[in-house]
Amino acid sequence: MMHLENLSAEDLLRKANLKVTKWRKVLLQKIMDNESGISYSDLSQSEDFTGHRVTLYRALIDLEEAGLVEKLRDATGAVKYMLKTAEGQSHKLHPHFSCRVCNSMVCLSDIDLPKIVLPPGFKNEQMVCLVYGLCSKCNASMA
């Protein structure tokens, strides 16, 4: 299994058959650089992004539909974008952790989740397993 984090933003866009545009590359790189997930607001206010907010929104949709990023809600309900940890169909279902104090998010990709079998006629479009609590840094500061 090839891990997405081993490739450059430009390589990932090409591999996903997406046109390599300046803003897709910038946004994907920002997401890749932020291990705890990054919000639309943080992306739009980034010094690296000076494009229009509609351009940002469309680029995020393209990255998500191409399977490069995943959109998750943190402990506050805010949407965060994170790099998927593996390519396409080999992306295994894994939980995420959201800290209720600092709002960081972490992939718990070493934890296997059971396969969910849906009833006939049902179609899975997204599955999310999110663990809320205190990250090690926030937990230590409260001790």
- Is 138 annotated in a binding site? The answer is yes
- Is 99 annotated in a binding site? The answer is yes
- Is 107 annotated in a binding site? The answer is no
3-state secondary structure the chain: CCCHHHCCHHHHHHHCCCCCCHHHHHHHHHHHHCCCCEEHHHHHCCCCCCCCHHHHHHHHHHHHHCCCEEEEECCCCCEEEEECCCCHHHCCCCCEEEECCCCCEEECCCCCCCCCCCCCCCCCCCCCCEEEECCHHHHHHHC
- Is 129 annotated in a binding site? The answer is no
Q: Annotated binding residues, as ranges?
A: 99, 102, 135, 138
Q: Annotated binding residues for Zn(2+), as ranges?
A: 99, 102, 135, 138
